[in-house]
């Protein structure tokens, strides 16, 4: 029975690939063909690096690193993005402003798209507008959910956290995993990446559909969900299924939000978790479901909703006609209670987060946002808070991170359900995680297995 299922899935994948190839314009290469050209060169680059510099020391591990959650230890390969403490994130060497300028927008839009960012992360190349539109169509054709996944999501109580539901929906897609099916019937290691790619494409395509269904079930249960529109990009369909398709400003904001959040190197908890589970050769659906549950922790992806709660509380205290002195007093009141100022500081960054800067620039370009007291409060807090936090003296990075700005715009446009915000984060972060799951298989990366120590053993090691 298992082999019959494997043959069925293999034929299904083959038909899917064939239909995409026949649809493709002769003047462009598809995403998969582009990756296929790059794989041999990347494999050779890694092989040469290992042979020539395998024993070169690139870092130093201290007892504090080991006890402190391995923070800052140089121990992971993640090719698509690098996070510099001073410059912020770069995608294959490209800064956020450079990516915004280079990546093509959706038809009629201005902001870079999820498709463009996904292409850049996977290939290191900037796609043409035609290639991103072709990719949008392919993702739309993959976006429908299996009936059993719809029934699973619909059966869940609306009191169950949206992130819990999202992880369950993604894990259930494992039922139709091309990688798992191919592995069970036996394939060459050199072919692993092609099946991981198929799963990752389906993951990226279906994730917004799952997320929209969860939103409508919990918050708008009496309204039907719009069908996938194959003329729209990934975010355009997602916003439409959420019920906000009438608001183009909201759609443009979410395009920017998802592109900005797509990848933030591999050391953050959700990216690392997906990579770790994937290193066991678990399929991409299981791997990313694990990453989603890591993202659901309050020290990681839930941070933006905590920021917004604090901002709403401040606005209710200082009123709509606030001054910078009002903000300063509220900041000191927060700190004097022994609480942190949410949305400020970062585990790596030591300058303002470029993602925060990009979101603020978006707000400045839209009159409706600049008229919002909440958006104004966020902007002016960013001017006041760094000096207060420097004076307080307990924050390594007193500057705003992306969470300081991301929630207020969602709230302004009517998506006011805080618990759902991390779901949107989960959709965007899938682009980076999926990229690494494909390349980990293409490069033949091994299972992760760091060495651990007991306290006694660590003491002995340190003394010797």
Domains parsed from the chain with CATH numbers: 303-412 (1.10.230.10)
Instruction: Decide if 193 contacts 438 (C-beta within 8 A).
Output: yes
Q: Is 36 exposed, middle or buried (0-12, 13-18, 19+ CB in 10 A)?
A: middle
Is residue 125 predicted with pLDDT exceeding 60? yes
Angle between helices 192-219 and 162-172 (to 10 degrees): 140
Instruction: Decide if 325 contacts 318 (C-beta within 8 A).
Output: no
pLDDT-derived band at 298 (thresholds 50, 70, 90) equals confident
Task: Using alpha carbons, select from 202, 208, 292 the residue that is nearest to residue 245.
Answer: 208
Cα 457 to chain centroid distance, Å, stands at 37
Instruction: Decide if 114 contacts 428 (C-beta within 8 A).
Output: yes
pLDDT-derived band at 345 (thresholds 50, 70, 90) equals confident
pLDDT-derived band at 254 (thresholds 50, 70, 90) equals very high
Q: How far apart are CA 21 and CA 8, in angstroms?
A: 20
* DSSP three-state, residue 363: helix
Please state, for a pLDDT cut of 70, what percent of the chain lies above it.
94
Average pLDDT on 167-196 reads: 98
* DSSP label at residue 338: T
Task: Using alpha carbons, select from 226, 247, 201 the residue that is nearest to residue 109.
Answer: 247
Average pLDDT on 312-329 reads: 96
399-421 pLDDT tens trace? 999 999 999 999 999 999 999 99
Instruction: Decide if 454 contacts 288 (C-beta within 8 A).
Output: no
44, 448, 196, 146: CA torsion to nearest 10: -170
> Mean pLDDT across the chain, nearest whole number?
92
Higher-confidence residue of 62 and 148: namely 148
* Whole-number pLDDT of residue 71: 85
* Whole-number pLDDT of residue 318: 96
Task: Using alpha carbons, select from 134, 141, 97 the residue that is nearest to residue 119.
Answer: 134
* Whole-number pLDDT of residue 18: 44
pLDDT-derived band at 22 (thresholds 50, 70, 90) equals very low
* Whole-number pLDDT of residue 101: 97
Provide the token pair at 173.
């897609």
Is residue 34 predicted with pLDDT exceeding 60? yes
Instruction: Decide if 260 contacts 402 (C-beta within 8 A).
Output: yes
221-246 pLDDT tens trace? 989 999 999 999 999 999 999 999 99
Q: How far apart are CA 43 and CA 405, in angstroms?
A: 39
Place of tokens 């300028």: 101
* Whole-number pLDDT of residue 79: 93
Enumerate the active-site residues. 300, 346, 403
Higher-confidence residue of 80 and 67: namely 80
- Write the DSSP assignment of 48-97 as a string of letters: HHHHHHTT-------HHHHHTTTTT-------SEEEETTTEEEETTB-HH
Is residue 10 predicted with pLDDT exceeding 60? no
432-442 pLDDT tens trace? 999 999 999 99
Those residues whose C-beta lies under 8 Å from the C-beta of residue 3, and which sit 6 or more positions away, are 184, 185
Q: Is 60 exposed, middle or buried (0-12, 13-18, 19+ CB in 10 A)?
A: exposed
Average pLDDT on 15-25 reads: 44
* Whole-number pLDDT of residue 25: 46
59-72 pLDDT tens trace? 889 999 888 888 88
Cα 356 to chain centroid distance, Å, stands at 15
Is residue 286 predicted with pLDDT exceeding 90? yes
Higher-confidence residue of 45 and 17: namely 45
* Whole-number pLDDT of residue 47: 95
pLDDT-derived band at 364 (thresholds 50, 70, 90) equals very high
Task: Using alpha carbons, select from 260, 255, 422, 385 the residue that is nearest to residue 311.
Answer: 385
284, 201, 131, 102: CA torsion to nearest 10: -40
Average pLDDT on 273-287 reads: 98
Average pLDDT on 245-258 reads: 97
Is residue 151 predicted with pLDDT exceeding 50? yes
């Amino acid at each position: 029975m298992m082999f019959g299922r494997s043959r069925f899935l293999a034929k299904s994948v083959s038909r899917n690939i064939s239909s995409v190839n026949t649809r493709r314009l002769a003047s462009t290469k598809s995403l998969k063909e582009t990756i296929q050209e790059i794989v041999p060169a990347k494999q050779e680059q890694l092989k040469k690096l290992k042979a020539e510099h395998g024993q070169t020391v690139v870092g130093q591990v201290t007892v504090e690193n080991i006890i402190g959650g391995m923070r800052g230890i140089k121990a992971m390969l993640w090719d698509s993005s690098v996070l510099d403490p001073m410059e912020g994130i770069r995608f294959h060497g490209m800064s956020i402003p450079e990516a915004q300028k280079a990546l093509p927008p959706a038809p009629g839009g201005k902001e870079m798209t999820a498709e463009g960012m996904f292409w850049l992360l996977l290939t290191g190349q900037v796609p043409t507008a035609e290639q991103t539109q072709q990719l949008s169509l392919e993702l739309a054709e993959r976006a429908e959910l299996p009936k059993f996944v719809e029934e699973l999501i619909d059966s869940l109580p609306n009191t169950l956290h949206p992130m819990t539901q999202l992880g369950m929906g993604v894990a259930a897609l494992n039922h139709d995993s091309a990688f798992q099916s191919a592995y069970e019937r036996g394939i060459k290691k050199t072919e692993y990446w092609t099946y991981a790619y198929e799963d990752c494409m389906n993951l990226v395509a279906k994730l917004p559909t799952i997320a929209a269904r969860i939103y409508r079930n919990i918050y708008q249960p009496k309204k039907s969900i719009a069908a996938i529109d194959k003329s729209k990009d990934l975010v355009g369909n997602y916003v439409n299924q959420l019920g906000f398709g009438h608001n183009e400003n909201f759609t443009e904001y979410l395009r920017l939000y998802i592109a900005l959040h797509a990848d933030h190197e591999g050391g953050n908890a959700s990216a690392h978790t997906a990579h770790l589970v994937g290193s066991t050769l678990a399929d991409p659906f299981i791997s990313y479901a694990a990453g989603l549950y890591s993202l659901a922790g309050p020290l990681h992806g839930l941070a933006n909703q905590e920021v917004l709660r604090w901002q709403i509380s401040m606005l209710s205290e200082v009123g709509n006609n606030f001054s910078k002195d009002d903000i300063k007093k509220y900041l000191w009141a927060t700190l004097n209670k022994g609480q942190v100022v949410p949305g400020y500081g970062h585990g790596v960054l030591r300058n303002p987060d470029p993602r925060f800067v990009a979101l603020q620039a978006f707000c400045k370009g839209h009159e409706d946002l600049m008229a919002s007291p909440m958006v104004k409060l966020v902007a002016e807090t960013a001017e006041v808070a760094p000096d207060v936090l420097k004076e307080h003296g307990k924050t390594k990075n007193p500057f705003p991170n992306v969470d300081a700005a991301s929630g207020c715009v969602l709230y302004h446009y009517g998506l006011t359900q805080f618990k759902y915000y991390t779901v949107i984060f989960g959709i965007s972060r899938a682009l980076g995680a999926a990229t690494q799951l494909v390349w980990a298989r293409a490069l033949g990366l091994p299972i992760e297995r760091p060495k651990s120590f007991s306290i006694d053993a660590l003491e002995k090691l340190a003394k010797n």
